[in-house]
């Protein structure tokens, strides 16, 4: 799992002082002419984009002039994140430096989450990885991977602090979006005192939490509201699944999106409308991403380690929030999940 080029911490321990020092040296040692490329995982969420752009603005404050940020796939940023400060750093993946002096990777648990950008890890002078997935596969020369961090932005702020960057509202906006996304607006188990302390530091820069939450969580087109109605309406409850802990699931096709004239990102919030089901520990949304390809979101309320299910099916994630790419029909994908659930039960 995690472990740095220097030998690294024991599994799950987070970055060592040596790891932090290597990361600081990688940034501080950059010549004035250095090209730095920031990358994050495919279908970027609030943590991927917010950590990357917030950190990018910090690098800019340090004087890094040749700086780009990108992500795999089409260069469209989901509407809720288009306002993020630092968006001017974004370029399409094909326009990103082919051989940067330093590449910094955000919120990706494995190289498979980097699509066509994976080659930059080898072509860059140095590859620095910032992440918080327990399932992180341990790629990149310098690894700042903290499975106890609530979001990658916790790690990003840790590095900005060590680099001596002073927080400002633009940097804080991205880091706050990241933190509030991955903690479900400070509701999930990962919401420790340290998370609230970090949020307090970010809010002290003057950013507006109500405005930010409305933009990233509480605004969607009317077509999406109607689409959700249909897709939630076809949810199935299987009380006997997961050894009686229960499974609730639904799916959405590209045809569903087209019928309501909606972009794919609107489906990211769908899991939240399903996982509230009291009768099921595990919830699942199967979102069509290709002809016979599906992006699967899994959530658990605590009885099942869904990252084990996801990893067994080629994906990854966290204990209570994970995902994978499924192939075949919806029924085949759900059957594979169903079969893995009993083996992923956590001790009571
Ligand atoms: P999501 O359901 O897309 O919000 O993802 C929940 C968690 O699972 C996140 O931490 C993702 O990084 C992880 N995840 C989702 N899809 C994949 C995948 N295909 N491979 C690896 N990890 C994934
Ligand atoms: Mn993410
Ligand atoms: Mn994350």
Task: For the chain, give percent helix, strand, coil, nearest 5.
Answer: 45, 20, 40
Does the CB atom of residue 315 touch ligand 1 within 6 A? yes
| 151: nearest Cα among 185, 178, 170, 130 | 178
Kindly state the average pLDDT of the residues 2-17: 59
Percentage, residues of the chain above pLDDT 90: 95
Could you read off the pLDDT of 252-295 as tens digits, one per residue?
Answer: 999 999 999 999 999 999 999 999 999 999 999 999 999 999 99
pLDDT value at 1 more than 90: no
Residue 220 exposed, middle or buried by CB count within 10 Å (0-12, 13-18, 19+)? middle
Give nearest CA residue, ligand 1 atom 8.
Answer: 322
Please identify, by atom number, the ligand 1 atom nearest to the C-alpha of residue 325: 19
Q: Are strands 142-145 and 102-106 parallel, antiparallel or unpaired?
A: unpaired
Cα of 47 vs centre of ligand 2, distance in Å, is: 5
**Ligand 1 nearest-atom number relative to CA 43:** 3
Residues with Cβ–ion distance below 5 A, ligand 2: 45, 47-48, 107
Q: Are 321 and 284 in contact (CB under 8 A)?
A: no
Residue 265 CA to its chain's centroid (Å)? 14
Rounded CA-CA distance 299/320 in Å is: 5
- Quote the ligand 3 centre to 286 CA distance (angstroms): 20
Map residue 67 onto helix, strand or coil.
strand
Task: Work out the pLDDT band at 3, boundaries 50, 70, 90.
Answer: very low
User: How many A from CA of 72 to the centre of ligand 1?
Assistant: 15
Please check whether residue 334 is in contact with residue 294, taking contact to mean a CB–CB distance below 8 angstroms.
no
Long-range contacts of 162-165 (CB under 8 A, 24+ apart): 162/20, 162/23, 162/24, 163/24, 163/27, 163/28, 163/58, 163/62, 165/58, 165/61, 165/62
pLDDT band, residue 9 (cuts 50/70/90): very low
* pTM as predicted: 0.95
Note the pLDDT of residue 348: 86
Summarize pLDDT for 155-164 with one digit per residue, the tens.
Answer: 999 999 999 9
Answer yes or no: is the C-beta of 132 below 6 A from any ligand 1 atom.
no
> Tokens 């004035």 label which residue?
32
**Span 302-336, pLDDT tens digits:** 999 999 999 999 999 999 999 999 999 999 999 99
The per-residue pLDDT for 13 is 87
Residue 264's pLDDT is: 95
* pLDDT tens-digit map of 204-250: 999 999 999 999 999 999 999 999 999 999 999 999 999 999 999 99
Q: What is the mean pLDDT of residues 14-37?
A: 97
What count of other Cβ atoms lies within 10 Å of the Cβ of residue 31?
Answer: 6
In this prediction, residues 22-44 reach a mean pLDDT of 97
Residue ranges of alpha helices (H) inside 89-221 are 119-123, 152-162, 169-182, 193-203, 209-216
pLDDT tens digit sequence for 82-117? 999 999 999 999 999 999 999 999 999 999 999 999
For 132-142, write each residue's pLDDT tens digit. 999 999 999 99
User: Can you give the pLDDT at residue 278?
Assistant: 98
Both tokens assigned to 345: 């039960």
- Nearest ligand to the CA atom of 323: 1
Q: Is 160 exposed, middle or buried (0-12, 13-18, 19+ CB in 10 A)?
A: buried
Measured by CA distance, the residue closest to atom 6 of ligand 1 is: 322
R_g of the chain, CA atoms, integer Å: 20
The residue ranges of DSSP E strands in 243-337, in sequence order, are 247-252, 282-290, 293-300, 316-318, 321-327
Whole-number pLDDT of residue 11? 62
**pLDDT tens, 162-218?**
999 999 999 999 999 999 999 999 999 899 999 999 999 999 999 999 999 999 999
Asked whether residue 10 carries a pLDDT value surpassing 90, the answer given is: no
Q: Using an 8 Å Cβ cutoff, are 131 and 106 in contact?
A: yes
- % of the chain beyond a pLDDT of 70: 97
């Amino acid at each position: 799992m995690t472990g740095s080029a220097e030998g690294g911490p024991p599994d799950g321990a987070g970055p060592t002082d040596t790891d932090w020092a290597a990361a600081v040296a990688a940034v501080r040692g950059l010549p004035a002419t250095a090209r730095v490329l920031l990358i994050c995982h495919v279908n970027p969420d609030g943590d991927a984009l917010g950590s990357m752009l917030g950190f990018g603005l910090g690098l800019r404050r340090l004087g890094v002039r040749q700086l780009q940020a990108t992500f795999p796939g089409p260069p469209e940023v989901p509407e809720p994140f288009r306002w993020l400060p630092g968006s001017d750093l974004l370029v399409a993946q094909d326009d990103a430096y082919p051989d940067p002096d330093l590449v910094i990777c955000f919120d990706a648990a494995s190289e498979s989450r980097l699509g066509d950008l994976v080659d930059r890890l080898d072509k860059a002078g140095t590859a620095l990885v910032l992440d918080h997935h327990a399932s992180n596969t341990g790629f990149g020369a310098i690894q700042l991977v903290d499975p106890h961090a609530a979001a990658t932005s916790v790690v990003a702020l840790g590095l900005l602090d060590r680099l001596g960057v002073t927080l400002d509202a633009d940097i804080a906006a991205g880091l706050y979006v990241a933190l509030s996304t991955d903690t479900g607006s400070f509701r999930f188990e990962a919401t420790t005192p340290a998370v609230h302390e970090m949020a307090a530091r970010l809010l002290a820069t003057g950013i507006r939490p109500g405005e930010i939450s409305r933009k990233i969580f509480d605004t969607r087109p009317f077509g999406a509201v109607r689409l959700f109605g249909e897709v939630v309406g076809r949810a199935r409850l299987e009380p006997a699944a997961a050894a009686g802990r229960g499974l609730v699931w639904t799916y959405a096709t590209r045809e569903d999106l087209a019928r309501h004239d909606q972009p794919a990102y609107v489906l990211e919030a769908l899991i939240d409308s399903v996982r509230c089901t009291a009768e099921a520990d595990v919830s699942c949304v199967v979102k069509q991403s290709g002809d016979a390809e599906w992006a699967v979101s899994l959530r658990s309320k605590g009885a099942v380690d869904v990252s084990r299910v996801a990893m067994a099916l080629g994906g990854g994630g966290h204990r209570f929030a994970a995902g994978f790419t499924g192939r075949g029909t919806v029924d085949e994908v759900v059957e594979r999940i169903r079969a893995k659930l009993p083996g992923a039960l956590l001790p009571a």
